Structure formats: C-alpha cells, structure tokens
C-alpha cells in the first residue's frame, strides 16, 4: 500500500477583504519533510496564505487539510496544538523579557500540569518545568547558537539575533510544520548566511517540514527543494528551483518583462 507523504493539502482556497481578492481558488500540496518556498511580488498573497494555514484568517472558501484533518477556520491555538509553528515578518517577541523566557512561551501548551499549579509550585509542576527548560536549553537554544545570550533582555539584542529567538520560540513548540515569514528580512549578508545554515540544520536534523516566504530569491533558490510562485493570489508556477528560475511568468510577475536574466542572482 502506498504511503501518503502529503502533510498539508490546500484545495480551492479563496480569501477576500471586501472587494479585494487576496487568494483565488488556490490549490497546492506540501510533502512531508520537504523544504518549500513561497515567492511572489508584494501583494501576491503569500502572508495571507500562511495566515489561513495557522488560523489567523478564516478563508471564504476552500479546504486546508493537515495530515488528514481539516483545519480551515480553526482557532490558532488549536492548529498550533496539531504541530504547526510560525514566525512572523515583524518580530513578535516580548522585548522586556529574556531570551529564555521568550522561548519558554513556545512550550506552554505542551505543559501537562494545570495552569493554576504554577501559583502553588507543586512538585509535579516544578519537575515538568525543569524538564522542559533543560530540553529547551540543550535542544533549542544551544542548537541555534543562543547560549551566550539566553539571559539577556531581547530589546538589547541585534535584529538578526532577535530573528533567531523568534525561530527558537517556534521550534520550542516541537512543530511538524514550520511556517517562516521573511525570516531574513532586514538582515546583513553575514546574518543571512548564519540563518541559512540554521534553517538547513532544522530541516535536516530535526526533520521539520518548512514552508518559507522570502524575498531574497537567491537564498530561496539555494535552499529550497520546491518553490511555489504566487501573483495576485493565484498560483502562477510550481516546481524545482531551476524550473522556477526559467519560468517566464515568474520573471514577468516580478519585473514586467520576461527578458531579465539577473533576477535570481
């Protein structure tokens, strides 16, 4: 019997804001364990797609199925509990809390002890909290090279490091599916190279399926296994990076002309 390798299947997805169509009859499949990038010019519907997947937006039509379970219209915390984690284009961290405190927030819904037990500091709750902290420090914070800043206030850190903290908080959720929204935005070349290395490690060593929105097309073509291109809420191309680079519709969507050769360099 054939094994179903699809972790996420979207069919006929449409999203409107008044008279504006952000997504139009969009269908796609994401294979388990893949590294897939979503590209497209500004306004193509990329972030709207992620917002539908993780429950921030409720689509007007269509299906979103995660490992056989329909999730369209579910609340974000319920989708997160199924193994979907998310980073945001704008860094959404608690700036006056430490790195460790921010990362621990990604683990709260995995805690089995009832919330009220934290006020009484019951032994079972203390043991569970200790185990989660040990795992976070050894398997997430160390993994992303944040050990030296774990006790620093987030507001004091450079932009690139805060982006890594955002990624660490998402990984703290033990995700099956990781949604990344322009994680390289605003970074220097050196910071982008560091993040690219970490993303490859996450994909390879932690076996996490990744859907990545990114405007740095050179990085997308270097890291991705599969690329989906959107424009005005419609899928205009899909395939391996080398196929997307040669696709006239993709080049025209970005530049208005299919003649440009330097788009992906």
Average pLDDT value over all residues in the chain: 87
Token readout for 223 is 């890291």
Q: Considering the chain, what percentage of its residues have pLDDT values greater than 70?
A: 83
Strands 209-213 and 177-181: parallel
Looking at the fold, whether 161 and 182 belong to one and the same domain comes out as no
Beta strands 226-231 and 6-17, pairing class: unpaired
In-domain check, residue 59 = yes
Q: Give one word for 224, left, alpha or beta, with left for phi > 0 and alpha for psi -120 to 50.
A: beta
Domain identity same for 179 and 216? yes
Tens digits of per-residue pLDDT, 4-63? 689 999 999 999 998 899 999 999 999 999 999 999 999 899 999 999 999 999 999 999
- The domain boundary residue, chosen from 172, 193, 218: 172
**C-alpha neighbours within 13 Å on the C-beta side of residue 87:** 28
Q: What is the pLDDT of residues 117-152, one digit of tens each?
A: 555 555 666 565 656 566 666 678 888 999 899 899
**198 with 79, same domain?**
yes
DSSP codes, 15-75: EEETTEEEEEEEEEEEETT-EEEEE-STTSSHHHHHHHHTTSS--SEEEEEETTEE-TT--
Domain that residue 18 falls in: 1-83+175-260
DSSP letter at 261 equals S
Please give the model's pTM, rounded to 2 decimal places: 0.86
- Let me know if residue 265 belongs to a domain: no
């Amino acid at each position: 019997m054939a094994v179903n390798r699809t972790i996420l299947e979207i069919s006929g997805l449409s999203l409107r804001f008044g008279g504006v169509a952000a997504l139009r009859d969009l269908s796609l499949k994401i294979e388990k364990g893949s590294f897939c990038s979503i590209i497209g010019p500004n306004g193509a519907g990329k972030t709207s797609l992620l917002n539908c997947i993780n429950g921030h937006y409720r689509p007007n039509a269509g299906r979103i199925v995660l490992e056989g379970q329909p999730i369209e219209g579910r609340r974000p915390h319920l989708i997160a509990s199924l193994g979907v984690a998310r980073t945001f284009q704008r860094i959404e961290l608690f700036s006056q809390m430490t790195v460790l405190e921010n990362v621990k927030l990604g683990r709260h819904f995995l805690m089995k002890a009832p919330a009220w037990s934290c006020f009484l500091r019951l032994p079972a709750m203390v043991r569970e909290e200790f185990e989660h902290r040990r795992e976070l420090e050894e398997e997430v914070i160390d993994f992303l090279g944040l050990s030296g800043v774990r006790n620093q206030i987030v507001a004091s850190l450079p932009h690139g490091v805060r982006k890594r903290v955002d990624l660490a908080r998402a990984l703290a959720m033990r995700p099956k599916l990781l949604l990344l929204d322009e994680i390289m935005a605003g970074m220097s070349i050196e910071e982008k190279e560091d993040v690219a290395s970490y993303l490859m490690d996450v994909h390879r060593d932690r076996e996490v399926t990744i859907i990545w929105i990114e405007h740095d097309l050179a990085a997308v073509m270097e890291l991705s296994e599969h690329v989906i291109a959107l424009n005005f809420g419609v899928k205009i191309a899909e395939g391996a990076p080398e196929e997307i680079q040669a696709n006239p519709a993709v080049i025209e969507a970005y530049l208005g002309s299919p003649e440009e050769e330097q788009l992906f360099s």
